[in-house]
Structure 1
């Protein structure tokens, strides 16, 4: 990757780290509210905001995959390297924890907080959309994997991809706002036509703007970001839904604006040993292992409805998940993945 590419990614690592910690906060506060019977609206509100870290990830993923691919289309074996790298990126870190949780939930279902476990073995093993994965957080990987695969069309024909994208967008809008087909089941059709794909598309659109060096006035974009963020927070606080999926769409647009401002006007080179960079680099690993860790940590503490003690537990969860996630990252994302890349010549 050239230095020209690198300068756009450092600040985004910081954002990735914060987004991962948002998801940890979401799941941890949700569990604390459930286990410790906490009945404070602002605690539930803060916890609920954390889930939007996933929306940021989807926009960022669409941007990064499109932006980095732009510099690789003309390189030898570009398509093969793209497919192998994306597969390694998803599966090498997922398989150890994903298969472990599948084994545990299949043989010891009482370990799950869910009232019943109705998961697909095919999805749990491959992340192909055939139902719910045994390991709940893996649902996002199903969307990531589908977008990575569909985006590979750009290595065959960019014109084909552009036409496909238009048709895909129309089908998604028709399915959700005209025929209004609703289903939570993670089948291929429902994943393919999910509104979450709009966030990947936003990221792709952003990559085009950045690559073509389209510059909007930073004061205008910054003001728009602040106003839109405040507007979104007010709507969320009062639980106002303007239209289907509106809260996620607003977060997606906010993410689009934040990334645009950052990569266009603020591109510092950051030290790899910066703690926020370390968390950012380990984002995927933190996301993968945090759920069972937070459950284990919470169960080690006595039940309490004290806000101070519950936020202490949250702090402990964040610290331990960050440290454990970084160790997991060094083992599976750095060492083992690099071994595979060298063996496969990518």
Structure 2
């Protein structure tokens, strides 16, 4: 596969990252409207509930992108060491400035948060799964770190990693959907993350990358039909609040991500404007994700009293624009300049 094809695939996925990021911004912003301004609108509430599934999309994308991009680097010199350094830099360099800032704020001004969480300094500074991080959205980074570290097995043996994924999936199912779920050790934060059903979404991304890398093709009609079925099922469950089993709606949306990514890759000749707004948002997704929650909380808290849906929409648009604009500036400083500088010193 040519480097141009690889770049094109990843560009398309950046568009998905941008959409997922905006979903999460809406999720938290609509929650703040409800909390600070008592805005309760059925449609906005539904949009807010749907926004949280942007995280599920991120997890499937992460599993895919790491598997897909690493495939071309296994035979490079210092591949394993560079992989670890790249992943740690990618997570911690943008995270630590805002993570430390929020830890300081909540330590000095505990009433600043509209939640009632007990903050763990250890988790806030290291992302080690011990307690709650000061930056609320950082809980997802512990899952990202878990997958990245486990994926490093593949650098020593791809076969061992494939077998591990199968056994890992089996243990996740057993520890969540059988009498094994009552085991006391699962209450320990580390094990609750290791065997969380969220990891199934990373595994779905890994499986999708394998299908693409091995050039296993499915009929386009089958892919579109699969997407339609999971979309209808997801919509039905979210509207009627039907629960078939724990985490079922999240997994349905993960399948929406699975089929959407697969279809997008099948349409890999799609032309993308590299300076397009959505692609810029996609590139800055991580930074937008990191800064948006404290930002939206401050903006909506200080917003003039909102009493109408029109006012709520103005507030949402304001938050989206500020999150994208400030997030992009944050990205330029910490993701482009800082990471590039550190990579030049640390990556062989």
TM range (shorter): over 0.9
Q: Deviations for 1:99-124, whole angstroms, at most 9, x for unmatched residues?
A: 10011112211111113x31222111
1:33: Cα distance to partner?
A: 1.2
1:185: Cα distance to partner?
A: 6.7
Q: Deviations for 1:110-147, whole angstroms, at most 9, x for unmatched residues?
A: 111113x3122211111111121121100000000110
Match of 2:287 among 260, 285, 288: 285
1:201: Cα distance to partner?
A: 0.1
Correspondence for 2:314: 312
Is contact 1:210-1:264 (8 Å) kept? Answer: no
The whole-number CA distance in structure 1 between the counterparts of 2:238 and 2:183 is 22
Correspondence for 1:153: 153
Q: TM-score, normalised by structure 2?
A: 0.96
Secondary structure of 1:237's aligned partner: helix
Q: Name the CA shift for 1:186/1:137 in 2 (closer, same or farther; >3 Å).
A: farther
Aligned length: 345
Q: Which runs of 5+ in 1 are unaligned?
A: none
Which moves more between the two structures, 278-287 or 152-161?
A: 152-161
Is contact 2:85-2:347 (8 Å) kept? Answer: no
1:182: Cα distance to partner?
A: 9.0
Q: TM-score, normalised by structure 1?
A: 0.96
The whole-number CA distance in structure 2 between the counterparts of 1:66 and 1:338 is 22
The whole-number CA distance in structure 1 between the counterparts of 2:14 and 2:187 is 32
Any residues of structure 2 matched to 1:311-330 within 5 Å, and which? 311-330=313-332
Which moves more between the two structures, 297-306 or 272-281?
A: 297-306
Correspondence for 1:65: 66
1:219: Cα distance to partner?
A: 1.8
1:4: Cα distance to partner?
A: 3.4
Q: Does 2:118 correspond to 1:126?
A: no
Q: Name the CA shift for 1:134/1:37 in 2 (closer, same or farther; >3 Å).
A: same
The whole-number CA distance in structure 2 between the counterparts of 1:249 and 1:141 is 19
Correspondence for 1:345: 347
1:276: Cα distance to partner?
A: 0.9
Q: Deviations for 1:284-331, whole angstroms, at most 9, x for unmatched residues?
A: 000000011101111221222300100110000000100000000000
Correspondence for 2:27: 26
The whole-number CA distance in structure 2 between the counterparts of 1:182 and 1:235 is 30
Which moves more between the two structures, 165-174 or 192-201?
A: 165-174
Q: Does 2:106 correspond to 1:95?
A: no
Q: Name the CA shift for 1:216/1:239 in 2 (closer, same or farther; >3 Å).
A: same
Q: Deviations for 1:124-171, whole angstroms, at most 9, x for unmatched residues?
A: 111111121121100000000110000000001112112221221111
Correspondence for 2:234: 232
Which moves more between the two structures, 80-89 or 128-137?
A: 128-137
